[in-house]
Structure 1
Amino acid sequence: MRTSIFILCFWLTALGLRAQGYILLPMDEAQTNHLKAYGITYKVLELKQEAWWLLNYRGGSFAFPYSDVFKKECITRGVRFEVLAEAKFNNILNQIADPEVNMEAMKLEVPPKIAVYSPTVNARGKEIQPWDDAVTLVLTYAEIPYDLVYDDEVLNMKLPEYDWLHLHHEDFTGQYGKFYASYNNQQWYREYVRNMENLAEKHGFNKVSQLKLAVVKRIQEFVAGGGFMFAMCSATDTYDIALAAEGVDICDHMYDGDPADPQAQAKLDFSKTFAFKDFQLVRDPYKYEYSTIDASPMTAPARRVQDKQDYFNLFEFSAKWDPVPSMLTQCHNRTVRGFMGQTTAFRKTQIKSNVLVLGENKAANEARYIHGTFQKGFFSFYGGHDPEDYRHFVHDPATDLNLHPNSEGYRLILNNVLFPAAKKKKRKT
């Protein structure tokens, strides 16, 4: 017993955890680096220390017991912090607990283990993906660890090892991103197609669309079992299209060697999807669009959102009654700059009624950020490719987040990353 007490005291001393109160990371406009603040909080959880997410308090601030180690991390990473006496921190908790204020204190417990679904290299070690991924960029910048997974890992049942899975610019329909018209003569595209075909053959599938459907079904099982899935850009709509088109050939001959089923649209089963309903497929194989889910000019010619006026607003939820959407929308600015992608925004008429809209462009009648549940798990879909690059093209350089440490758009991604760490309270009834 004495040995155990000695070991505990040793680690407390090593961390500098003494009677010095708490460190508060303000997440309002006073914060110098919002993105790295998430990484600091993740580090605290990695070291098995408790942390608090103070919803709607100064922009959704974080707090944890004082430590010389944590103080040094804040200074090193350029994150603004405040040292609070224990009595002052307790006063903040009491203020938050007031039923008249829209705030809540969420205890953060275990750091989620993160997987990013991404085809970084082919079998010969050559990069085949000529675009970057906003989530890997911000995880790297915030210094939050993650593992890369792809079809091999998913089909070999590795997903249950993780708590949180990210999908980005991926085409789960087997149409290779519908890049054929623009890029079929380029080397990177041919490498991409060859790698996908090899993967399909490796796993016993005749077509890439069959491989991707199997991957989609494994991810569905991951979410059903309690996993957290976050998708951006074309991974959002193509995921649901693949589910709805199970058993239906929606790929034209240049994608899988034979024509698409002419009755494909009538055979879609929207009861299988996570978020979307009643959408129309874009059957033209030369058009860079999948369906009417995306509120783009290709499917909605009347859409006239000018670059300088492209913003979306975050809804404000009751932190005490609805802590989940409140966590996902914590930000120092309720108005967020819009950004484009292959899938930019979601047509509201094609979102299922049980799916929650977290952010919308009301003037354009489109949702940009949505959230829902599937059995025991959760999913969030976020339109667009890169929050700080309005129009990101193939082969464009990656965004330097040193230039955007206070990005509202990137903060929304990191809200999703920390969300699984929260100790869920029973919903008030």
Structure 2
Amino acid sequence: MIDMKNIIIIVLAITQASIAYADKLLIPMDGTQKNHLKAYGIAYYVLGQEKEVEWLLNYKGGSFLMDDYENIERECLLRGVSFTTMSEAKANRIKEELANPAVNADVVKLLKVPKIAVYSPKTAQPWDDAVTMVLTYAEIPYDVVFDDEVLDGKLPTYDWLHLHHEDFTGQYGKFYASFRNADWYKEQVAEAEAMAAKHGFDKVSELKLAVTKKIRDFTAGGGFLFAMCSATD
């Protein structure tokens, strides 16, 4: 017959087993990963908890390695992110393999969660900008900034600046020939001209030149810039 003391021991053993975690958690980024974008969000989440993340370049698609703990496993499950757990010894063996000069791979330590800004008009719809759609889906927080914030000197408060299809020439994009009579195009032109007048510029091109110089100073000061589409022109 099992006495109360034995019951308590069994309960404690089961409880301890249920909360036992491996030393390390690996988030693969190869074909075994069910949700790559959400996986980036998990890496951001862990950094936000002031925990270190190691980026294993060219290992399983550029996997993320971190300490295993209760909250991170739960977050992975909630967000549908694939992961595996392993011992500290196994993780060290993997890193030793990647450190071999004959292997085209490396380990990058991620220590700080970056503060992200997206340069986008306040009137833009969520589906207008691929960058904001990706960041939102990945659950990576960001602020939307535009000409007001840039000219007010807010960029140095951020680590990353993302640009999508923004035209810095002051020519209102590349749609004049096809859409110059469309209501939405006329609204964008009116908004740009109003913004230029607000900041004391006679032309939108002068406004955008001032904004461009601020962005140039941001990158020269160590800020990271990601540009795509017409923003690279």
TM-score (norm 2): 0.89
2:62 alignment partner in structure 1: 60
What is the Cα deviation at residue 93 of structure 1?
1.1
1:97 alignment partner in structure 2: 99
Moved over 6 A (4+): none
Contact preservation (8 Å) 2:126, 2:132: no
1:179 alignment partner in structure 2: 175
Contact preservation (8 Å) 1:24, 1:83: yes
The residue type paired with residue 24 of structure 2 is Y
Counterpart among 128, 133, 144 of residue 137 in structure 1: 133
1:389-419 C-alpha deviation (Å, 9 max, x unpaired): xxxxxxxxxxxxxxxxxxxxxxxxxxxxxxx
Superposed, which structure 2 residues align to 1:314-325 within 5 Å?
A: none
Matched, 1:43 2:39: no
1:172-228 C-alpha deviation (Å, 9 max, x unpaired): 000000322211211111111111001000000000000000000000000000000
Matched, 1:21 2:23: yes
1:112 alignment partner in structure 2: 114
Counterpart among 162, 165, 170 of residue 166 in structure 2: 170
Distance in 1 of aligned mates of 2:54 and 2:126: 39
Contact preservation (8 Å) 1:18, 1:66: no
- What secondary structure, in the 3-state scheme, does the structure 1 residue paired with 2:213 have? helix
Distance in 2 of aligned mates of 1:133 and 1:201: 26
- What secondary structure, in the 3-state scheme, does the structure 2 residue paired with 1:111 have? coil
1:240 alignment partner in structure 2: none
What is the Cα deviation at residue 120 of structure 1?
2.7
2:195 alignment partner in structure 1: 199
Contact preservation (8 Å) 2:201, 2:207: yes
2:5 alignment partner in structure 1: none
Superposed, which structure 2 residues align to 1:18-417 within 5 Å?
A: 20-121=22-123, 132-237=128-233
- What secondary structure, in the 3-state scheme, does the structure 2 residue paired with 1:49 have? coil
1:37-94 C-alpha deviation (Å, 9 max, x unpaired): 1000000000000010000011110010001100011111111100111111111111
* Structure 2: gaps spanning 5 or more residues: 1-18
1:288-328 C-alpha deviation (Å, 9 max, x unpaired): xxxxxxxxxxxxxxxxxxxxxxxxxxxxxxxxxxxxxxxxx
* Structure 1: gaps spanning 5 or more residues: 1-16, 122-126, 238-429
Q: Which has the larger radius of gyration?
A: 2
Please provide the CA RMSD for this pair. Answer: 1.5
Contact preservation (8 Å) 1:25, 1:61: yes
1:90-149 C-alpha deviation (Å, 9 max, x unpaired): 11111111122111111000011000000032xxxxx5x696111111101100000000
Contact preservation (8 Å) 2:47, 2:53: yes
2:3 alignment partner in structure 1: none
The residue type paired with residue 203 of structure 1 is H
- What secondary structure, in the 3-state scheme, does the structure 2 residue paired with 1:53 have? strand
What is the Cα deviation at residue 229 of structure 1?
0.6
Corresponding residue pairs, total: 215
